[in-house]
Structure 1
């Protein structure tokens, strides 16, 4: 197994007051080897964005560790943490809110270049901007650099966000719903660009999305981790997870993904959930958090004991009592 560039161990992050805490992320563990892709998939509110922000160093965890090249990032000294913050960059979901509307695009791109002393002059900064814009497919760069964010399309703004992330030569990219707010017609071109950048610059990706179809497209050579209400329920290589899902929740998500052929979509076997209601973080059910909706629910077990994230022995992990029993893991 390749050495992990990023490893998350029993990560927990809570919000609230001393009297009442809400656990947005609870007991999450995974690893991302160098130059690999991990897609973090789940419905809105499952904790995937919070997980990404903790990994990016924007939020401190309430519990657990985030290791970068084997070192806990929150045990680093000031200089080491500064280096980490440049090595790990975040591409935000909203290209309309992540760029300062008062600044020209040139100023947006050059701010990190000057802050980290990566250019020696304004002429050098201009040359670096031209280079970055050519890399991310923004042409003509000379015209676009003089514009303000409102003068660009959503796709162009997101490419600017990617260029800004590349300014400090990162090794790890957290892409948080990076294509969800752009037109469907240009999503594939953005994903293709991100894949090309990964190959050209040896980047490692944590790709956060609610869309399993996007995860399948972007990370077919990587892995997918499925989250549900703050917890990890399944982790596997993408082809294995898509073709042989183990957890009932993963099966339900995949059954809801539309096919390109409408006839296939109509004939697709849907997983019959016991309930459509997602539990509130304010009132989580005991035992397995999915048991109120699970079609394989076992009374007196699933609603009492919270399942561990079992290692199946073939590179997969699953958090389900019933599946673990069928596979002889318990």
Structure 2
């Protein structure tokens, strides 16, 4: 039975963040980097987490990877709180969840050859018995990430390879321990555009062939569309998820004004279509509020084109189910959806279930 089938049969998500928050304590006061985030990833599925730089994507990813302990909330792996695991269970979790960093120039040790980089985790966890096995296994890992022939790369050092080749070595290192989940933090953002598609195709093949789940962090909705089309997308703004749903729905029919602004920022090669884009994404302001002085009510309201005084600047919105599998944190959008349902005679849930941003299968 595959990992994806086992996960679906048990009904237990692979990775789950429940009302997770991360507050950084500084000399100048507390900084709420992530607030009440709910995310779930099942085996073999893709969850894309998108938003501007500084919105809390990487902090959320680090909590999922066990690198940061949340200030509040619960991070679960296969149904167990990772911070309550015993030593053996935590070691198993740390091998099953692997992290691919953004910068391929900083994530590899410059004085280690590719072979030593790949062999280190294999030897550390007793997956190989001798140097010959380590060499063969390292060669196999390079073939998986399309670095062939592997003999041409095993003895190279990072400075002898391009950025794309380095990032493939980083992915190979993540695969060395047969992970069930890979957290890819902006793993293509520092690569040339000409080789991004090849990298994404390679990651997609690994997802399909090995049944690896992905928490894919990106600021680019075009990348999320390409890689996570059959998964789901969560959009973050200032530490909170403001829109969540199947990737095709979020991309083709965004509901939250912030998501619309992100899509408006995607370059358009057609001059006629580009001319129709709203200046500044249609936002009232380009200034992002500081975490040290978050606005009252909805933190997006100083920039929001749907802003209503006395509503948006008073109460912060919660993620609300506005249609099947679509959740949006916006007073105006939620109200319009409610009025639409009432007008059409549809069934309205006065108290919708608590959103969990779960992945329930490919669309």
Q: CA deviation at 1:81?
A: 0.8
Residue matched to 1:239: 248
- Asked if 1:310 is matched to 2:320, the reply is yes
CA distance in 1, matches of 2:321, 2:176: 39
Query: For 1:249-268, what aligned pairs fall within 5 Å after superposition?
Result: 249-268=258-277
- Asked if 1:83 is matched to 2:92, the reply is yes
Query: For 1:141-152, what aligned pairs fall within 5 Å after superposition?
Result: 141-152=150-161
Q: CA deviation at 1:117?
A: 0.5
CA distance in 2, matches of 1:203, 1:228: 27
CA distance in 2, matches of 1:260, 1:110: 44
CA distance in 1, matches of 2:265, 2:109: 37
Q: CA deviation at 1:261?
A: 2.3
* The one of 104, 112, 136 aligned to 1:103: 112
CA distance in 2, matches of 1:235, 1:79: 35
Residue matched to 1:191: 200
Residue matched to 1:289: 299
SS at match of 1:257: coil
CA distance in 1, matches of 2:332, 2:27: 36
CA distance in 1, matches of 2:271, 2:87: 55
CA distance in 1, matches of 2:50, 2:158: 29
| C-alpha distance after superposition, 1:33-92 (max 9, x if no partner) | 221101000000001011101101111111111111111111111111110000000000
CA distance in 1, matches of 2:259, 2:180: 30
Q: CA deviation at 1:18?
A: 7.9
| C-alpha distance after superposition, 1:284-329 (max 9, x if no partner) | 1111010000011111111111111112240011101111111126
Residue matched to 2:34: 25
Structure 2 stretches lacking a partner, 5+ long: 1-6, 339-348, 351-363
SS at match of 1:236: strand
CA distance in 1, matches of 2:278, 2:288: 21
CA distance in 1, matches of 2:112, 2:59: 28
CA distance in 2, matches of 1:148, 1:33: 36
Please give the root-mean-square deviation of Cα atoms over the aligned residues, in Å: 1.5
Residue matched to 1:140: 149
Aligned pairs, number: 330
- Asked if 1:215 is matched to 2:210, the reply is no
SS at match of 1:277: coil
Query: For 1:170-189, what aligned pairs fall within 5 Å after superposition?
Result: 170-189=179-198
Residue matched to 1:125: 134
Residue matched to 2:310: 300
**Where has structure 1 moved over 6 Å in runs of 4 or more?**
none
- Asked if 1:73 is matched to 2:79, the reply is no
CA distance in 1, matches of 2:254, 2:165: 36
Q: TM-score, normalised by structure 1?
A: 0.97
CA distance in 2, matches of 1:316, 1:286: 25
CA distance in 1, matches of 2:206, 2:215: 14
Q: CA deviation at 1:17?
A: 3.8
* The one of 323, 332, 342 aligned to 1:322: 332
CA distance in 1, matches of 2:266, 2:185: 20
CA distance in 2, matches of 1:55, 1:46: 16
- Asked if 1:278 is matched to 2:299, the reply is no
| C-alpha distance after superposition, 1:147-196 (max 9, x if no partner) | 11101100000000000000000000000000011111100000000000
